[in-house]
Structure formats: structure tokens, C-alpha cells
Structure 1
Amino acid sequence: MTRRLRSAASAVDACDGCVEVLGEHTNALIATLLHVHDRLRCVAATGSWQVFSAVLLGRGVVGRVYASGKTAVVVDPDDEADFIRLGPDIAAEICAPITDRAGQPVGALNVEWTGPVDVAEWQPVIEEIARLLGARVDELGGPPAESVGEKLLRYSLSLSTATTEAEVLTRCVEAARDISGLSSAVLLGFAPDGVVVRASSPRPLDRPIIDRLAKLDHESLLDLAERVGRHGASFTLGDPDDFDSHGYEALTTVGVRTMISTPVGPGAAGGVLLTLDDTTSRPDPARVSLLELLAAQAWTCLDRIATLIKLHERASSDPLTGLRHQGPFGERLAEATPGKTALLAIDVDLFKVINDTYGHAAGDRALVDLAKALAATLRLGDELYRVGGDEFVAVVDVPSAGEALAVADRLIAAARRTGRTISIGVALRGEAETAEDTLHRADTALYQVKRQGRDGIKLAR
């Protein structure tokens, strides 16, 4: 093992040599995992049909060993809470920390057997091999850097968890700068009067290329953006002083020497991702392809967020009272629990008189005041909907009809404090009836209150 590690030319080669030599001396499942960015990545493995590509820090036996710097020995996986089962049944496991020359963990060497093994004999061997491997990895510069593919995966996951458009845009330009290796990134979007900078990476203090780019006239930016949108991604090949940069003079005059341009989304609905530098280099076409994948992922996330916003607007409050309206009320009705959900049909008494006497503006103000008072009276989890001009329905989860009547009493009192009165019909959904039938019974009870003089409550039969 010592000879094989000494001949290794890289950290990956050292890990390959480690599992190769170990595999010659024991029929075990062997994996070397090194700390790469935010997880323990499997750098080399042998003896198993399937292995984990990476393990989150602190997860499983290997994560615990890396965090503690102490070897773990497992002789009964069923009694080991941190054991993560992937392949065949394991009879024993030895996981030792891979440490650098200063004794700090940089990974874990994990060895698992499916048959009988002398754990006491193997433990010191595994620990010494892990120490030798760690020292050699340290001599070779430490664990391998995160690959651009791994970076793209990490950023794609980050984009998919973004909840706002601003988060998507910010994470996209950050990812473009990291994946490309260039100093700056900016995302341009189409606007009625040209193009706008929708997001940009923080500029390096000594390379204010983003500031200069933002000062370009809209016609130059629009021409660039439209060209990218029509023809797709492109990248520079060399120094514009040596190659003909015709058509890009606006960029080269502000110091752009290297650029990758990538369309984001379709046509005018999308935008353009520019990754830039004021030093000359030749972008790797493989990285350009990864930036195209990044732009596609960003657009998918932007489209998802825009769709969710539209759905939220469609299902949210009516513009007058701020209460949820008929659409979400129907969805809530479908979720009503028999015997546990009560519907309170509410009608404003003599509302037509307000409109006829004082005008519709006064009627609207009365509805808004009343809606606020009723909503504030309901408990957490109860919901109030406006289902008609002066008609409301409260959906409340209650253990009994008596509790539903108590809620109605509080609503009556709240309405009186606004100077208005309301009539309420209460129905507890029965075991064998639809939510629509429950609402019909509540409405019937409501009109009984109306006929009996208003400003009251009636429990439906």
C-alpha cells in the first residue's frame, strides 16, 4: 500500500490505488470518500455493484466518522442507527477517518464485509491505511476540487428551491460566474423600451466591467440580446485585438475581452445570460454547454414561479374585502370533514338599504369594515369567504354543534360593534352528506333567521 500510494500522481489516483490494493487482500466492499465542497464524495470504490455517489456531511456512519475523527466499528447494522443500507446484507463494517498530515479529517475510508471477518485484526490495518492515504492526499494538494459538473448539479438544486424570481436570477448569475471561471456575469431581460439588467454578480473591485456594461446604450444591448435570442449560445475565441470582433464593438470598447452569451427562455419572453471577463481567455466549449443547461434550468424555475403567482392571484382574495372568494371556497368545501366541520352561512342585514340610501361606495365601505371584523374574530385555522355581494361563509373545524354556535355568537357580536347586524345559519356536516348539502342546510337555516327578524343564529336540522 505504501509503495502504491507513493507512486500516485493525484488524490484520485491515490484513492484508486488504496481500494485496488485493499481489494487484492480482502473480499470486501471498499469506498474512499473525501470532503469536496459540501459533502463527502466517493472518489474510488470497489467490490460493490452500487455505491453512494456522495454523502451529506454528518449523515450515516461515514459522516459521523468524518465529523468526530474517530473510527467506527459496526458488527450489527440493525443496532446501528446511522447505518445506511444500500446493497447486500452487511456482517461488519469498519470506517476510519482519512486524516491529513496535521491529523485533521479530510474524508473516510469505509470497508464492509458480507461474511465472517476478524474485526479486531482488520481495524488497526484499516486505520493505518486511512492515515497513509490521508497523508499522501495532503502531499498531493488535498482532496480534488469540485468539478464543473458537480457545481452545475449543486446550483441546479439551489435554483429549484428558490421561491422568488429575484432568488432565481441572483443564484443564476452566481452559478454562471463560478461554472465559467470568468470574473463577471449579468442577466439581461427584454423590456418595452429595450433591455434591462435583471441581475448581475458582485463585481470585483479591480474589474468594474459590469458598471461599464450597464452604461451602454440600449440599442447596443438590444442588438446583442436579439442576436443571442435568435441564434443561440456563442463564445469568444481570442483577443479582439487579434481577431475581427465586428459587431461587438460596443462590448470591446468597455473592456470585454472574453464572453459567453447564452439565451434564457424563448424570445422576448426570456433574456440573455452574459458571462464576461476583461482578460483574454478561450472558453471551454464543454463549460458553454453547461451554461446552456444552467440557463434552461433557470428559465424553468422562473416559469414555475410565474405560474404559481398566477395561480395564487386567481385563487386569492376578492379586490374589495381581501377575503378569499368562490374558487378556493369550493376547494375548502371538498376538504370538509363529516362531523367535524361546520359551515356558517352569513348575510348582512338590510344591506340593500345601505346601497339605496347612501350609495354603493358606502355599501362597499360597510362590507370592508364588516369583513375585517368577522375575519379578526375567527380562530386560527378558521376561514371566511365572500361568496356573493353581501354573502359570506365561514368554514370552521369544531368538535360539536355547540362550539359552532359559540363561534357564530362571536361573529354576531363583532358585526354589532361595526354598527351592522348579520344573520347566520349554522350546519355541521353529517357523516353521509356532501359539503354542498351541508351548505344548503346552512342557507335554509339562514333564511329562517331572516324571516324571524334578522340579527340572530339558527342551527340547521
Structure 2
Amino acid sequence: MCWPAPPRPSRRSSNGSPLLWQPGGYDRPPPPCRSLPHVCQNFVVRGCLMTISGGTFDPSICEMEPIATPGAIQPHGALMTARADSGRVAHASVNLGEILGLPAASVLGAPIGEVIGRVNEILLREARRSGSETPETIGSFRRSDGQLLHLHAFQSGDYMCLDIEPVRDEDGRLPPGARQSVIETFSSAMTQVELCELAVHGLQLVLGYDRVMAYRFGADGHGEVIAERRRQDLEPYLGLHYPASDIPQIARALYLRQRVGAIADACYRPVPLLGHPELDDGKPLDLTHSSLRSVSPVHLDYMQNMNTAASLTIGLADGDRLWGMLVCHNTTPRIAGPEWRAAAGMIGQVVSLLLSRLGEVENAAETLARQSTLSTLVERLSTGDTLAAAFVAADQLILDLVGASAAVVRLAGQELHFGRTPPVDAMQKVLDSLGRPSPLEVLSLDDVTLRHPELPELLAAGSGILLLPLTSGDGDLIAWFRPEHVQTITWGGNPAEHGTWNPATQRMRPRASFDAWKETVTGRSLPWTSAERNCARELGEAIAAEMAQRTRAELARLRHYDPLTGLANRSYLQERLAQDGQSAAALLFIDLDRFKAVNDSMGHGVGDGLLIEVARSLVATVRPHDLVVRLGGDEFVVLCHRLDAAGIVSLAERLRQVLEQPFEVAGRKCHISASIGIAMADSIGDLDLVRAADIAMYAAKKNGGNRGELFRPSLYEETTQLVELDNDMRGAIESEQFHLVYQPIFALNPETERLVGFEALLRWDHPLHGALQPGIFIPLAERLGHIHAMGNWVLRRAILQLQAFRSAGPELDLKMNVNVSPLQLARPDFLARLADLLAQVPDLPRHALCLEITETSLSDEAVSEALISIRALGVRIAIDDFGTGFSSLACLRRLPVDVAKLDRAFLGGGHTAAQDHRFFAAVTGLVHAADLKVVQEGIETLDQLALVRAAGADFAQGFHLAAPLSIAAALGLIAASRKE
């Protein structure tokens, strides 16, 4: 919209009559209506320097164009303002008489309530008090001839402003639920482009414009049409690029403030505004939020050249950045009424929110794909004798990490080259030109060749550079290189021919042709992505950590002593045992009880301080020649010589009493105790002394803690198995040995069964014992404290898989049942974790998730309270194995549950005698009377299924219907169910 405005003349007439405000100033004749073919909206022509009579045109003058304060509106409505303090009309559009039935001059200075009615004045003031600049419908007004008018309010400085639009028959109303139907389709989008394709399809379906496009801005400001729906006879624009100059910054900023803009007829004659000489404050009237705001004549020329008569444009934002636009074109004039604009605005808001999330997901996916390489590379850095040797051993990984073709590593005076690096002299000139960035401040360029045309040898190897200065200083760095990437871009018209300037009319004409114009782009590499830059930065941090570690490793003290407490460490203990042997030795293995609670509640600073105090107390209590060791975390060891069994037990008791006393750390009292394992070298057989003491310590902790336990052979098998299973379970959670299978649940119809959901069942593929059932390892997980991590993993996986199953069969409205432990429910943060997991899938109906709990857990008050809160989230609750616990049928209707899953014991062991029929029907009826649904599990025969169906159960599951299925098999069942 390159339409510079000359300085405005005086704003007051000599006789005090209303003044005509128009674009460019007062009392200027309105521009004539040109007979233009109709074209597209909101593409703004901005130019580079253009030759004018031998000189140049300064493009910065275009940024001063008053596109937000044009002083005119489009003629399909009228505009009126009133002073907020006095309520008197300050401005009115010249066509007010045509729209409102009252001439503009007659309302200026009048109280606004006399013009639009007292009720509408009150609504107008309320809209202003709300503080929102965005237009909002405040009411309607009927003219004397019966014509109904829409009133839309917004504010501009000290003015209350009204857009007034007739209710037209041709406006049309959207089909009921059209907006919601379009928005619901967005949930299937996996990428930003897919989302834009769905939005374009939905907009054309709902609004019926001849062409709808999604337009995305690149990092260089240029735009590309990434999605399009059009009338068949129209030329496609999909894939075309448009220069950044088409939409200048002033216009982009406008779209961030007012997301929806419309032009009804590209050949409209702008309607100027009249200002009351006493009420007009002399400041330009900001029409950013007016749906009638006039646009630049250059903009209309641009529309002419693109053969578009009417348009509706929606700005798409990612935070405070204009990501792109949704643009609707029509080849004939068309007024976008309030309902259409509201629908467009709502769709734009939803698309903007999802664009941001999908962008994060896409970036996270790329980052995740590179994390494996990063992890392997970081691991390799710790294996070489020197860091330089480690880099040489990991040469290809260095390049793969960021997708580079070459790299240079400068480290401790050495320079290592990987791949085909640029010539040394040219590379050094480039590095010198980049200055000295701060350590770990990643610098990326994809246009090095364009910056250094004097170095053409860079094309083949160094058109792009990613520079990572290292924290060690002294010029240490890693520089990755990429070669030139030649690509062809198809533009909508020649991007160099922005337009022509006419000095006589002080007007710019936009380019006339938008035919596909191909440009070969050279001198650039592929751009470096944010994921690649992040991986480079993380590598720099890992190198810094590794260098620090290697420095520490060179110091003997840090090789043998714990840096926090000053005690000997595990390494020193092993060397001491190897040197002295285990004969005549005894060892106390000390594990602090409740230390984690102190660490979590008081912070790691207090926790570290407590460990220091514990170390001091241990040293003060043992004999001078005894060795006190910190193994790590809250585990300590005392190695003693020349002590008999009575002496070592007595020492263990003294240590227990010392550690039971409160410690004061940073002014806070810390209460802990200790579980102590005692091992004598002459009574452990072939076991390692530390291992034997560790086993005894586990026995002490198992028996309640705050006690000592002397190792004896009978502990070995029991405790070792427990320790091994504990370690196995920790590793299983970390190494994905667990997986879920899904047993189908069917609704029982009179003649057949219908798939309605699945129960997620946990399985453990143990590397030694094979497939383990939950009944074996769940009690152990609850006992060892792993149930929370395991349960969180199950819940997250099941919710995500539920979303996938529902997407595979949307019309089936599938549900998912997930078993939870009462220990999980009793934990205070369970509800917040569940709410957070559900928030990550906002389009998933909450009733689609059902948590199954055992009947016996209902006696726990904390569990019952948690169930009430969970149901408040919309999640359903089922009693599992109902009929095997203590719940009476009398209190069944008061339990905070929705479903009763009847235990397989109700099926009578496979028999279906008459009394089984009557008993089962009675139980089912009682559960139904409590307003609960009935699920019968364990159906294994056709007779059992007939019994359950005849008794009136709602749902059933069991091996006769379907065994637990893998994901692939479940998807196959879903597909088959959709065909039925």
C-alpha cells in the first residue's frame, strides 16, 4: 500500500462547519472510482529502490502510509464516533444518511443516544469499559423504514466508534454448527501444512469463496502459497512465492492487531468522514479495528492485476509473529457480513494456536531424531585417551549430528578436519570476519558465499557455516560447513519488478503480471534448523562437561575422594579391599532412611548439607583407623579391621543412635534414621564383602528400617532375589521392556456384539524370565515404590493410544479402561498428573477414559476423595473384580464410580445352571438399580456369553470374544468393526 500522504493542511474551516477528512488530509477531493477488474485483498505492494527520472525512490516513505488511519471507509456500511466523555457525535461518514437514514451533518454534535437509542448507547459504553479494541456486536437498530442494522463497537483513543452495516438478504447465514465442524477436522492434522490444507478446505466449504489460500512467511519475509482450494476454471497459485515487499511491516503489524480484514468490492468509492470542529481532537482516527476501513488505491490496483473483486483475509500468528495468512478471493463483489467475519476470526484463532503447537511438535521430532546421534557422540567423547582422539574416533557422528558435509575442530592447539573442508586460507578469512562470539553462542549462516564473493572457492564446501565457540577459550571451536545448494523458486510474477512510480501523481502502480516466474537461487546452502543449532549447543555443553571431568580425573584426590563430603569414595574402597584383602575385616553398609523426603521437601542445598553433617558424625563415632566411605547418594560404608561380631554389632548400634538424633542444617532440623547391613568376612562365604553388607542392609530396610541386620546365609537367596528384581524393574522402566496389550470390550446387543473400547493391560518382557503377568510384578512394584513411575508410563501410553484408536474409527466412539493402583490414587500429585496428561490431548473427550480400581481399595479415604476429584474431570471410574471384596450392595449407589466389572466368579465356573441365570440376573439388576453400567469379564465360552446377555449386562470381555491384542491387531479389529 505505497501511498504517501502529503502534510495535512489546517483542520478547521473559517466558518466552523464540519470538515471533510480524507486519506492524505482534509478538504482533498476523493479519488475517482476507476473501472478496475476485481482482484485480491491485502497484498501490499512495497518496493525496493525504484528509478524515478534518473533518481531513486525512497521505500521508507511507504512505511508512513496511513493504512490504519485512512480517514475513509468502504461504502457498504457507515461509521460514526462519539466522545467518551460527553457522548456527543464527533465523526460521521458522508454516507450516513444512506445507511442510517440520518444525514451526517445533522448528527454531528448530537448526543449519541438520540441517534442510536439509549439502550445502544449503554451497550456502547459497556463495550468501551471492557477495554477491548476488537470489534464486538453490541446490538441492532431499525431505521424508520424497517431496515435492520448491525452495530459493531470498537474504541479509538477517546472515541467510542460504531461500524453500522445493513442486514442484507444476500449475506446469508452459516449452516448450524459449520464453524465447529470445520474446527473439529483440525485435530487430524499432523503438520502445519496439513492444518492449513484443512483450514483452506473448511473455509471454502463454509464461506463459498472462489479461491481460498494459505500463505506462509519464511524467515526472509518472503511468502509462499502452501495450500489452496479454488474454482476449477481459475489458475492455480499453489506453490507460488511472493516477495516480502508485497506485504510491508506496517501491514503485517496491522494484521497482528486486527486478524480479519475484508474488501467487498475492489471498485468501491472511498467514503470520507466528517469531523465536528469542536469535538475532533485533531489526531488521526485509528480505524484498525473497523471492518469497514478503507484501503490504499495501490492495494486496489494490486487486486485488479490479480483478477479479484472481493476478499476476506485472516492473519495467522505464532506468538507475536505473523506466521502467515488465510486469504479468500472472489471474482465478483461480495460482502463478508458479521457472521462470516466472526467465523473467519474463530477459525483463524484456532489455526494460530494449533500452528504453534504443531511447529513445536515438528521441531521436537527433528530434535528427537538427532538426539540418538548426540547421545552416541557424547558417549564417545569419554572413551579416548584424549578429547582430540575421541573426536577422531567419532568423525562421521560429528557431521551427522547437524547434517554437515565437513567440520573443523580446534581444541587445545590441535586442528582436526572432517569431510571435505574449504581451503584453509578461505576458511580462516571467513572465521576472522565473524569476530569472537561468546562461548556456546551458536552462530549460523547460509549465505557465506554471498558475503564473500571474493572467495568463490567456498561454493563447493563452505556456502553455509555453523560456528560453535567452546568454553575452553584460546580459539577453541567447532565449525561445520555445507556446500552451495542450488534451487529453483517459482514466483508469482518477477519479484524484481515491484511496480512503477509516477512523480506527477505521486502514486505507485503495482506490477501487472503475476505469471509464474522461475528464479535460480545460488550462493546459499541449505539453512540450519533450530534443532541443529540446539544439538550443536548441547554438544558444546557436553564437551565443556567432559573437559571438566577430564581435568578432575587428573587430580588424585578427586580420583579417590568424594568432592561433597571429603570422604573416601567407592574407587578408593575397592583399591583398599584389593590391597588389604577381606580377611579379618568387617563392613557396615549404611543407607539413610527418609533422606529423599528431606531432599524433596527442603531442597537439594539442605540435602547436601545433611550429607556433610552425616559424614562428620560417622567419622567422629568410629575408631580413628576405621575407613568411612561415601558410595554415592545417601549410602555410606564403614570398613573395620580387628573387630569381632559383638564389637561390629555394637558399633552399628552406636552409629544408628547417632544418626537417629536430629541434625540442624541451615537453621532447619532434619530427622532421619539409618538401615545398616553388617557383614563379617569370615561368615559370607564366596560373596564380596560389600555385596554381603548390601544384602543385609536391604533386609534391615525391609524390616522397617532404623535398625541393623547381620548378614547370614539364609538372607542371601531372599534378599538377592528382591534386589535383582528391584534392579530389573528399574531397568525395565528405563529400557522399555514394558508394553501394553489391549483387550477389546464389547457392548452386548440382542443378537451380536459391538466393539466399544479396550482395556489396557501391562506386560513385562523380562530378558531372563520371559513374559510376566501383572499379578506377579505389580505387587512387587507397589512394595518397592516403582508403581508410580510404572503407572504414569501406563497412563500416558494408554491415553495416547486411545487417541490413535479413536482417530482410526471416529464413529465408534471408542473408550479405554486403565488399571490404577490405590497407591497412585492416594498420592497428592496424581490428580495434577492426570489433568496434565489430559491437557496434552485437548480434543480427547474425558469420558473416553475410564480408570479401573479394585473393590478393596475403596476403603481408603484418600482414594475415595481422589475418585471424586477424578470424576469431576469427566473421567469415568470402574470397580474391578466387583463381588470379591467387602462393598455392600446397600452402599453401591453411593460409591464415586460409574461402572461395575463383575468378577469371573459370577459365571459359576463355566456351568450355566438355572440358578446361575437367576443369580446373575439379580446381581445385574441390583447394579443397574444403582445407576451403574455392568461389565462382565472372563467370558470364555459361548454359554457364558449367552448367560451374560440374557441377564442384561451392558458390556463383556474375555477370551471367547477376543484375547488381549497388539496395537496392530487392535487397529485391524477397529477397521473390521467400521465395516459392520
Higher relative contact order (CA 8 A, sep 6+): 1
TM-score, normalisation: structure 2: 0.19
Q: Pick the structure with greater CA Rg.
A: 2
TM-score, normalisation: structure 1: 0.34
Higher helix share: 1
